[in-house]
């Protein structure tokens, strides 16, 4: 597929384990990093026209990639990394990482994204999953989101036109590409924001298995109750299937201790769901995304 180089940087026979925080997956035939927004749109149109399968991958911090190889094209938006600050907004391209966005905001004395400093991943994926923590979520600050829709049309949707809720948006169930977003930018004390970031990091260090191979919370919290607490009370901490283990530190995290396969993680998820249904009559809902190809 020589034509792929028309759109940006192309890598072949890529070991996907390096591209997701669980360290899962086989080999992808191609990985393309489009040069800019126009090239991304052209690439998607080209792949659809030629019926070539593709998968959009951010930082791979919320996905369970399959064990088998992928014959198609992985698309990474590393070069879609522009941020434009205006009076009280920031226009952010989908490939910007949350960590770098928060840091750039602080340089402009914008403090309202500090809550998200510890969330790995890209803005594009954050807008798909409505990420949040410490009482805030990204849709608190969305003005509009620009997408390439199912009919290859670029559309800018105001927040009111986007169905979104706790850790979910309509984009989770649609084959759209998030291109960029306009976010509300609120100025405040940088010193106070940095103090808050430090405190939040300490809370994460104390409660989450940082530094291990994981993809964040496995399940959403059911209304009024913590998924981690339910799983802990069912004695799952430290429970293993293959090299997939429920974190001894936080029961809503699964860790790849060494060479876990996707199927070990999925089996563990299935077992936890079944146990909590039997014990508490609660249907735990997955926050992580099981990818199939
Ligand atoms: C240690 C740790 C802590 C975490 N803490 C939190 C937390 O506090 N709060 C929270 O909400 N999450 C948290 N997460 C989960 C994760 O970081 C977020 O869900 C994040 O938004 C995923 O971003 P990503 O770029 O890695 O997405 P990926 O995992 O690469 O992709 C996620 C989904 O988004 C899709 N996608 C990616 N880019 C686009 C695009 N441009 N257009 C359309 N679809 C796209 C992918 O196809 C995939 O379906 C944590 C994860 C880890 C590992």
287 is catalytic: yes
For 269, residues 6+ apart whose C-beta sits below 8 A from its C-beta are 218, 254, 286
Is 199 a domain residue? Answer: no
Q: Say how many domains are in the chain.
A: 3
Three-state DSSP at 291 gives coil
What mean pLDDT is reported for the chain? 97
Find the 60 Cα to ligand 1 centroid distance in Å: 7
In a domain, 141, yes or no: yes
Is 95 a member of any domain? Answer: yes
CATH number at residue 266: 3.90.78.10
Residues 62 and 146 in one domain: no
CA dihedral 249, 252, 255, 260 (to 10 degrees): 150
Indicate which residue's Cα is closest to atom 9 of ligand 1: 132
Question: CB within 6 Å of ligand 1 — which residues?
Answer: 21, 56-63, 77, 94, 119-122, 124-126, 128-129, 131-133, 167, 177-178, 208, 210, 214-216, 289
pTM of the model: 0.96
Residue 276 lies in a domain: yes
| 161 CA distance to ligand 1 middle (Å) | 22
- At which of 193, 226, 242 does a domain end? 193
Largest CA distance in the chain: 55
Does 88 lie in the same domain as 65? no
Integer Cα distance of 21 and 280 in angstroms: 30
Nearest-5° Cα angle at 292, 243 to 248: 25
**What is the Å distance from ligand 1's center to 254 Cα?**
16
Q: Which of 237, 236, 244 is nearest to 266 (CA)?
A: 244
276 with 232, same domain? Answer: yes
> In 3D, which of 72, 80, 38, 36 has the Cα closest to residue 55?
72
275 C-alpha to ligand 1 centroid (Å): 27
Phi, psi of 168 (to 5 degrees): -155, 155
CATH number reported for the structural domain that contains residue 42 in this entry: 3.30.43.10
| 117-153 pLDDT, tens digit each | 999 999 999 999 999 999 999 999 999 999 999 999 9
Query: Model confidence over 54-75: pLDDT tens digits?
Result: 999 999 999 999 999 999 999 9
User: Does some domain include residue 200?
Assistant: no
Residue 137 annotated to the active site: no
pLDDT tens, position by position, 74-97: 999 999 999 999 999 999 999 999
State whether 88 and 162 are in the same domain: yes
Q: d(Cα 45, Cα 75) in Å, to the nearest integer?
A: 13
Mean pLDDT computed over 226-254? 98
Q: How far apart are the first and last CA of the chain?
A: 19
Q: What's the CATH number where 91 sits?
A: 3.30.465.10
Backbone phi, then psi, for 80, in 5-degree steps?
Answer: -90, 75
What local confidence, expressed as pLDDT, does residue 126 receive?
98
* Whole-number Cα distances in Å, 53 to 45, 48, 177: 12, 8, 14
- Tell which residue, 277, 270, 289, 282, has the closest CA to residue 217: 289
Helix (H) or strand (E) holding 278: helix 262-280
Residue nearest to atom 43 of ligand 1 (CA): 177
Integer Cα distance of 158 and 115 in angstroms: 23
- Mutate which of 18, 25, 53, 58 for ligand 1? The one with the most ligand atoms within 8 Å of its CB, which is 58
Same domain, 69 and 88: no
217 noted as active-site residue: yes
Domain for residue 285, yes or no?
yes
Q: 241 and 266 share a domain?
A: yes
Domain boundary among 143, 162, 193: 193
Q: What is the pLDDT of residue 260?
A: 97
Mutate to test the pocket of ligand 1, among 78, 129, 154 (most ligand atoms within 8 A of CB): 129
Mean pLDDT (whole number) for 188-199? 97
Q: Which of 93, 247, 262, 287 is catalytic?
A: 287
In which domain, by residue range, is 276 found? 209-290
Residues 225 and 161 in one domain: no
Given 61, 217, 247, 262, the catalytic residue: 217
């Amino acid at each position: 597929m020589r034509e792929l180089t028309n759109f940006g940087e192309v890598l072949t026979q890529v070991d996907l384990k390096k591209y997701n925080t669980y360290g899962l997956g086989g080999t992808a035939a191609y990985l393309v990093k489009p040069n800019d927004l126009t090239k991304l749109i052209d690439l998607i149109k080209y792949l659809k026209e030629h019926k070539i399968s593709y998968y959009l991958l951010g930082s791979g911090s919320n996905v369970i990639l399959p064990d088998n190889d992928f014959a198609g094209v992985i698309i990474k938006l590393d070069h879609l990394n522009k941020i434009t600050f205006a009076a009280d907004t920031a226009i952010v391209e989908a490939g910007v990482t949350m960590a770098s966005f928060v840091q750039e905001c602080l340089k402009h004395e914008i403090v309202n994204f500090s809550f998200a400093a510890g969330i790995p991943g890209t803005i594009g994926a954050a807008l798909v999953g409505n990420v949040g923590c410490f009482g805030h979520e990204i849709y608190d600050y969305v003005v509009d989101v620009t997408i390439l829709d199912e009919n290859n049309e670029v559309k800018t949707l105001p927040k009111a036109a986007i169905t979104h809720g706790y850790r979910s948006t309509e984009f989770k169930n649609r084959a759209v590409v998030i291109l960029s977003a306009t976010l509300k930018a609120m100025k405040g004390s940088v010193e106070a924001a940095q103090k808050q970031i430090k405190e939040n990091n300490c809370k994460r260090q104390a409660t989450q298995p940082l530094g291990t191979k994981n993809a964040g919370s496995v399940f959403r919290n059911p209304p009024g109750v913590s998924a981690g607490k339910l799983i802990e009370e069912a004695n799952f901490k430290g429970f293993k299937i293959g090299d997939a283990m429920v974190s001894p530190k936080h029961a809503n995290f699964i860790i790849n201790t060494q060479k876990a396969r996707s199927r070990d993680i999925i089996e563990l998820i299935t077992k936890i769901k079944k146990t909590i249904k039997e014990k508490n009559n609660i249907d735990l809902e997955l926050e992580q995304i099981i990818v199939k190809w």
